Structure 1
C-alpha cells in the first residue's frame, strides 16, 4: 500500500516523539529526590511537551529545551539524555545531581546551552563535548569534577562562555583554549590547575572576563594577554604568578572594570597609568610584593568602590605617603578603602573627612602613621569599620567619632593615644567591637559603656586606667566574645554582676589591684543544663583575690584558667579543667593544697572533728526536714510562675543589616583550600559546607557557602545572621563570623563560619551511607543512652530558643541533618536559615487563627497546621521534635517508603506498643544495646514538675500521647 508524503512525515514525527517521551521517563527514573514534586507531573495525563521544564518545537513537537533549575532534585543524569537529539538547551543548575556527566551528552549536536553548575557531578569532563559543535554556553561550575580540562574543547568555535570554576580540575591549562575565538568569558577559578598561563590566550580577542584565581599557576603573565583590549574583568588572585604589571596597563586595557591580582608574587611599583582607568570600579592587590610610593590619581576613576592595597610594601615612610587620599575624594561611590599593613608614613590627611559618605570600611592599621585623627571624620556617616591599630598615632579620641552612628568596629589599639576614654562613645549604639588596648589612656572606665547593648568584644588592656570596674560594664550581657581589662590599675573587688556574663567566651582581669573573693555569681550554674557557661578562658592572675577556689569551676568548660599570684587557699578541686595540668595555672598561691599529683601541691590536712552535742544531733534531722519542705514549696512556686506568660524584654533585637561581616572572601578561599571538594562536608538546598582552617590560630571551622542565586538565599542569610548574633547556648552551633562580599568573578558571595563539629550530623549516624566505622574498625552507632542524651540536648536548645531569648525564636527546620555532634557527641542545633522571631503567643488557638506566609519547610518534619495556613509558632518546632524522637529510636525517616496508604511513622510505632517494642526499634539498638536499658532507666524526663521514669517503651508512648507542649529534659 502506498503512503503519501504527509503520512510518512507523521509516522516519523510520531516515532521521534516516542523516543523523546521514553528518554524523559528514563531521566525521571534516575531522580530519587524530588521535594517539589516536579516529577509527579511527568505522567501520561499530559503530553510530555506540557510537562514541567519541557520546551518543544512548534512544528515537529520534539524536545528542544529541558530546564529543571533550582528544584533541589537528587539523582544522576541518565545516559538517555543523548536520545533528545533536538535538544538545544539543557539547564539543570542548582540541584543535587551526582556521578559523572554522561558521555551521551556529546551526541547532542544541536545543543547550544549546557548549564550543569551548582550540583555534585564528579569524574572528568567528557572530551566528546566537542561533538556539540553549536555550543555557546558551557557552565559546569560548583561541582566536583576532576582530571584535566579536555584539549578537545578548543574546537568549539561558537563557544562564548566557559565556566568551570569551583571544581577540582588539575594539570595545565590546555593551549587549545586559545582557539576559542568567540569566547567572551573564561572562568577557571578555584581549581588545582598548575603551570603557566598559555601564550595562546593572547589570541582571545573577544575576551571580556578572565578568571583564573585560586589555582597553582606560576610564571609570568604572557605580555599578549595584557593587550586584550576587550577585557573588563581581570582576576588572577591566589596563585604564584610573578613579574611586574606593565606601566601602560590602563592604556592596553582601556575597558578595565576589575583588576584583582592579590596574593601572588608580583613586584615593582603600581602602574601610574591606572590614573587613566576611567571605568575602574575595583582594584585589589592585597598580599603581593608591590613597593614604592603610590602616585596614582584615583580621581580618574570616579566609579571606584573597592580599593584594597593591604599587605604589600607600599609607601616610603615619608610625610606625603597618603597624598593619594586627596584624589579619592572624587570617588563618590567609594565603599572600601584598605591600605593596611604597608609602609605608609606621615599623618592622616584632612581629606579623609571628605571621602564619600557611602564609605563603609576604612582600614589603616599596621603602617607608620603618626599625628592625630582628624576631627572631621564624623562626616563618614555610613562607616561601619574604622581600624587604625598598630601605628604611632597620638592625641585624644576625637569627639567626632561619636557621630558615626553606623560604626560596628572601632580598633585604635597599639598606638599612643592618651587622655580619658570619652563617655560619648556610648552614642555609637551599633558598636560590636571596641579595641583600645596598648595605649596611654588614663582615668576610669565610663559607666556609659555599659549601654552599648550590641558590644560583644571589649579590650581595654595595657593602659593606665584606674578606679573600680563599673558594674554596668561587667553586666553587659551582649559580651560574648571577650572582655579584657588586664594590665591596668583597677582596685576594689570584681563586681558580682560579672555573673550575668553567662555567654562570655574570654575574661581577663589579670595584673590589676583587685581584692576580695571571686563572686559566686561568676559560675552559679542553674539546675537546667540549658544555662551552662560558655566561658572558655578566664585569667584572674596577679591580683589580691582570696578565699577558696570555687567548686563550681569544675563544671565550667574552661580551655584555660589562670588563678596564679593571688591569695587563694584551701583544697584544689580535681574535676573538670583541674584534671588538666597544662590548662590551669595556680602558681603564687602559697596556701593552696591537694589537687592532682602533677601539680605538686602539698596534701591537705584534715580538720579536727568537733564534738556535737546530743541535742544538736536531734535538731539536725528536724531542720533538714523543714529545709526540704521549704525547698519543695519553692520549686512548686517556680514551676507555677513559669507557666505564666512572661513579658518580652524591653531591649529590641538589632536589624539584620547590622550583623558584623569581617572575614574576606579571599580568607575563606585560603582557609578551605579554594573550596576544594576534598574539604566538602556536605551540601543542601541553600548551600555547601566546607571544612577550613583559619589563620592565625589555625582554628578548624565549618564554612557554609550560600547559593546566592537560589531563591530566598539573601533572606536565609540575613535570617541566620540575625538569629545567631542574638543567641548563645551550649546546644546551639556557635557562629564565629560571616562574610558578605563578591567572589573573584564579581558575583555575590555570602558565607557563615561556624565551629567545626568533628562528629558530623545526627543524620549521618542514624542513616549512614555507606556504613561508617570508627578508628578501631567498629561499626559506628549510637547507643540508647547516647540517643537519649542527644534528645535532652535538643530539647534544652528548644527551651532556650522558645523561652529564654529576647524574642522567642522558632527554628522551623528541626531535623537530623541540622543537628550536629561535637567530640563528646553533645548535640548542637544549627541551620537557622528559616528561623522566625515571634511574639510569644497566649494560646495555641491564638496561633491557629493567624494565617502564615509561605514557609519552605522539610516534608515529614513540618507541623500539619503549616499546610493549612497557620502562623509559625513554637508548637511547630515541638511537632518536629516529636518526629525527630521517633526517628532517633526507630531508625526510620518519616518519609520512609514503608509509610504509604495512610500509614505514617506515628502509627507505625503506636501499633507496635501493644505487641513488641523491638519490632519498631532501630535494629542497631536491638543488636548492640542490650545492657543500655537498665542504665537509661536512671535518667528522668521532667515536664512541668512531674517526673517520669524512662524506659524505651514509656518514652515512645509519651511521645505518641502528645503530652508535651514543650519537652524540658535534664541530666541527673
Structure 2
C-alpha cells in the first residue's frame, strides 16, 4: 500500500498519491516517525488506535480522505504533537477529552468538515499554546465553553456551521491575540458582547446567520463593515448602516454618553410608561424579516456550505484561466468542487461594491425558492471571509457550457470568420424558453416574481442550446393588488433599475415594478434576437429607438432588417440574391418571422396595458415554430389571430 510513499528524515509522505484502502494497524510500529502525511488520498475505514503509539510524532496530516468512526482516545498519548489535521473526512462521535490533553499543540487543531456531535468539553482551555482551533462544519452542539479565554495564544477560532447555542461568551474578548473569530451559522442567541469593541487585534468577526438580538456595539471593529458580518440576524439593530441594520426602537433614549442624572429624571417623571408602550408597539410592528437561508438546492441541506479555501482551490486560486464572465457586481469562474461531480460555475461578488450584499441576498432568496428547467439552478452558496479578512460572498451554480446569448448574438470577430451562428429555429426555441421561464416567475406560487433585468447577457445556453435565465440580483417578489387590478406590483417605486435599453419606459417615470416591465424587456430581447441590433446601437438617437425602427419596417421590409447572420445559412429558409439587394424567404420562414416581430412590437408598447400577456406570447410562439417546421406551407390559425390581436383583451 505504501510502496508509492516516501520516507524522508523521519517523515512518511503519501500525499497526492491517491492511495486507496485502510490505514494498517502496523503503522504504529514506526515509533521514530516525526511527521506523517497521509492527506489527500482515498483512505477509508477507521483510524487505527495504534497511531497513538507514534509518541514522537510532531505532525499528523490525515485530512481529505474518507475515514470513518470516532477519534481514538489513544491520540491522547501524542504528547509531542504540534499539529493535528483530521479535516474533510467522515468522522463521527464526540469530541474526545483526550485531545485537550495535547498541551503541546501549537500550530493548529483542525477537525472541520466531519460529523462530530455533542458539546465541546470545558477542558479545551487546557490548549494554552494553540494558535488555530477549527471545528467548523460539524454537528457539534451545546454552549461555547467560556474556558477558551485560557487559550491566550489563540489567533484563529473557527466554529461556523454547527449547532452551538446559548450566548456568546464575553470571555472570548479577553483573547489578546485573537485575529479571526467565526461563529456563523449556529443557533447562538442573546446580544453581542460590548467587550468585543476592545479587541485590538481582531480583523475578522463573522456572526452571521444566528439568532442574535439587541444593539450592535458601535466602536472598534464594528465601525468597519468589511471586517464584520451579522447577516441573517434580523433582530439586531444599530447605527452602522453599512451592516444593513434596522434602527434600534429606543435609540434616541440610550445614547452611550447620556448623563446618568438625565436618565433618572426620565424614569422618575413617569415617561417610562409611554416608553414601554411605544417600545412594545414597535416590537409588534417591526417583525423581523424571514431569515435568509442559503440555497442548498436541489438537495436542501445535503451539502455543507463550502469555505473560501474550497472555492479558491476549485478555481485554481480564482485564476484568469478559469474566468468565464465579469459584471459590475462580480466575476464568474468555472471550477470543480467536491460536492458535485460535474463542473460548476462560481459567481464571486465584489464585496467592496455598494449594494453587493443586497444583490447576494436577493439572489439567495429568489433562487432557493424557484425550480424550472429554463432557470439557472443553484447548487450552493458561501457567506464567509477570505484570507485577507474581507467579506466573501459566492454562489455555486450549474455550469452552462455555451455561454450567454449575448455572445452568440454579438460574437467578437478577431480577424477570422465567426464559427458559431444561431439558426432561425434555435432563436425561436430560445425565445420560447425565455417566455416559459418568465411565465413561471410571474405565476410563482401566488406571489409573482419580476426579474427586472432581462437581457441577452442574463440568458445562458446549455450544450443542447436550451436557454436558462439567470442573474436575479434585481428581482422582486410582488404583491397582488386587492381587487380589480390583475397586474401585481411592488409596494414602492424603484426608479430606473436594470439595464439601459431594456428597462420599461414607465420605470423611468417612477412607476412601480410590475410583470409588464418584464414583458417589455422580453419584447426588446425578441427584436434584438432577430434584427441583431442592440437597443443601444449608435443609430438609435433623436427619438429613434429599436421599437420604432422595427415598426417602420413592418411588415413589407422586415426581411431587410434581419440579422445578417440569418442570411448566411440556407438552413434558415432565407436567401439573399446575388446582387445583395433583395432578400427572400420561404413562406414558412416569412410567416414565422412576421409573427415573432409582431410579438416583439406588441410587447414593447409604451403603455403597459397595451402589451401582450405571456400566455398568448407562448401560444403564438409555439404556432410560429410549428409553421417553420411544417412540410406543406400554409398559414397557422394562431398567426392569423395575431394580426387581430388586442393586447388589452
Q: TM-score, normalised by structure 1?
A: 0.36
Q: Is the 8 A contact 1:322 1:348 kept in 2?
A: no
* CA distance in structure 1 between the partners assigned to 2:80 and 2:437 by the alignment: 55
Asked if 1:693 is matched to 2:470, the reply is no
Q: Is the 8 A contact 1:269 1:292 kept in 2?
A: no
Q: Is the 8 A contact 1:759 1:821 kept in 2?
A: yes
Q: Give the secondary-structure state (helix, strand or coil) at the position aligned to 2:343.
A: strand
Residue 757 (structure 1) shift: 0.6
Alignment match, 1:683? 326
1:668 to 1:921, Cα distance in 2 relative to 1, 3 A: same
Query: Taking CA–CA contacts closer than 8 Å with sequence separation of 6 or more, which of the two structures ends up with the larger relative contact order?
Result: 2
* CA distance in structure 1 between the partners assigned to 2:389 and 2:79 by the alignment: 27
Alignment match, 2:494? 853
Q: Give the secondary-structure state (helix, strand or coil) at the position aligned to 1:711.
A: coil
Alignment match, 1:966? 613
* CA distance in structure 1 between the partners assigned to 2:513 and 2:372 by the alignment: 23
Q: Give the unaligned 5+ runs of structure 2.
A: 1-7, 9-14, 17-38, 42-55, 66-73, 126-132, 147-158, 165-183, 189-209, 211-287, 297-303, 575-583, 604-609, 627-649
Q: CA RMSD in A?
A: 5.4
Alignment match, 1:953? 594
Asked if 1:879 is matched to 2:520, the reply is yes
Alignment match, 1:601? none
Alignment match, 2:464? 824
Q: Is the 8 A contact 2:359 2:474 kept in 1?
A: yes
Alignment match, 2:111? 339
1:273-352 pair list within 5 angstroms = 310-311=87-88, 320-323=97-100, 339-340=111-112, 350-351=121-122
Q: Give the secondary-structure state (helix, strand or coil) at the position aligned to 2:513.
A: coil
Cα deviation 1:44-100 (Å, max 9, x = unaligned): xxxxxxxxxxxxxxxxxxxxxxxxxxxxxxxxxxxxxxxxxxxxxxxxxxxxxxxxx
Residue 770 (structure 1) shift: 2.2
Alignment match, 1:795? 435
Residue 323 (structure 1) shift: 2.9
Residue 845 (structure 1) shift: 9.5
1:804 to 1:936, Cα distance in 2 relative to 1, 3 A: farther
Alignment match, 2:237? none
Q: Is the 8 A contact 2:59 2:81 kept in 1?
A: no
Asked if 1:707 is matched to 2:353, the reply is no
1:409-424 pair list within 5 angstroms = none
Residue 850 (structure 1) shift: 6.4
1:915 to 1:734, Cα distance in 2 relative to 1, 3 A: same
Alignment match, 2:530? 889
Alignment match, 2:568? 927
1:500-579 pair list within 5 angstroms = none
Q: Is the 8 A contact 1:655 1:722 kept in 2?
A: no
Residue 325 (structure 1) shift: 11
Residue 955 (structure 1) shift: 2.0
Asked if 1:870 is matched to 2:511, the reply is yes
Asked if 1:670 is matched to 2:447, the reply is no
Q: Give the secondary-structure state (helix, strand or coil) at the position aligned to 2:376.
A: coil
Q: Give the secondary-structure state (helix, strand or coil) at the position aligned to 1:740.
A: strand
Q: Give the unaligned 5+ runs of structure 1.
A: 1-218, 220-237, 240-262, 272-283, 299-306, 327-335, 366-372, 389-403, 409-429, 431-651, 940-948
Asked if 1:809 is matched to 2:456, the reply is no
Q: Is the 8 A contact 2:112 2:137 kept in 1?
A: yes
Q: Give the secondary-structure state (helix, strand or coil) at the position aligned to 1:951.
A: helix
Q: Is the 8 A contact 1:736 1:755 kept in 2?
A: yes
Alignment match, 1:516? none
* CA distance in structure 2 between the partners assigned to 1:904 and 1:716 by the alignment: 30
Aligned residue pairs total 403
* CA distance in structure 2 between the partners assigned to 1:343 and 1:931 by the alignment: 57
1:786 to 1:324, Cα distance in 2 relative to 1, 3 A: farther
Aligned mate of 2:391, from 745, 748, 751: 748
Higher-Rg structure is 1
* CA distance in structure 1 between the partners assigned to 2:335 and 2:594 by the alignment: 42
Q: Give the secondary-structure state (helix, strand or coil) at the position aligned to 1:805.
A: helix
Alignment match, 2:423? 783
Residue 322 (structure 1) shift: 3.7
1:745 to 1:785, Cα distance in 2 relative to 1, 3 A: same
* CA distance in structure 2 between the partners assigned to 1:920 and 1:285 by the alignment: 65
1:325-404 pair list within 5 angstroms = 339-340=111-112, 350-351=121-122, 362-364=136-138, 385-386=161-162
Q: Is the 8 A contact 1:653 1:726 kept in 2?
A: no
Cα deviation 1:487-526 (Å, max 9, x = unaligned): xxxxxxxxxxxxxxxxxxxxxxxxxxxxxxxxxxxxxxxx
Runs (4+) of structure 1 exceeding 6 A deviation are 284-288, 294-298, 312-315, 341-344, 373-379, 404-408, 843-850, 933-939
1:318 to 1:673, Cα distance in 2 relative to 1, 3 A: closer
Q: Is the 8 A contact 1:704 1:752 kept in 2?
A: yes
Q: Give the secondary-structure state (helix, strand or coil) at the position aligned to 1:752.
A: strand
Residue 951 (structure 1) shift: 2.0
* CA distance in structure 2 between the partners assigned to 1:849 and 1:405 by the alignment: 31
* CA distance in structure 1 between the partners assigned to 2:187 and 2:587 by the alignment: 54
Asked if 1:911 is matched to 2:582, the reply is no
Residue 670 (structure 1) shift: 1.2
1:911 to 1:828, Cα distance in 2 relative to 1, 3 A: same
Q: Is the 8 A contact 2:490 2:513 kept in 1?
A: no
Asked if 1:655 is matched to 2:296, the reply is no
Q: Is the 8 A contact 2:566 2:572 kept in 1?
A: no
* CA distance in structure 2 between the partners assigned to 1:771 and 1:805 by the alignment: 47
Q: Is the 8 A contact 1:771 1:779 kept in 2?
A: no
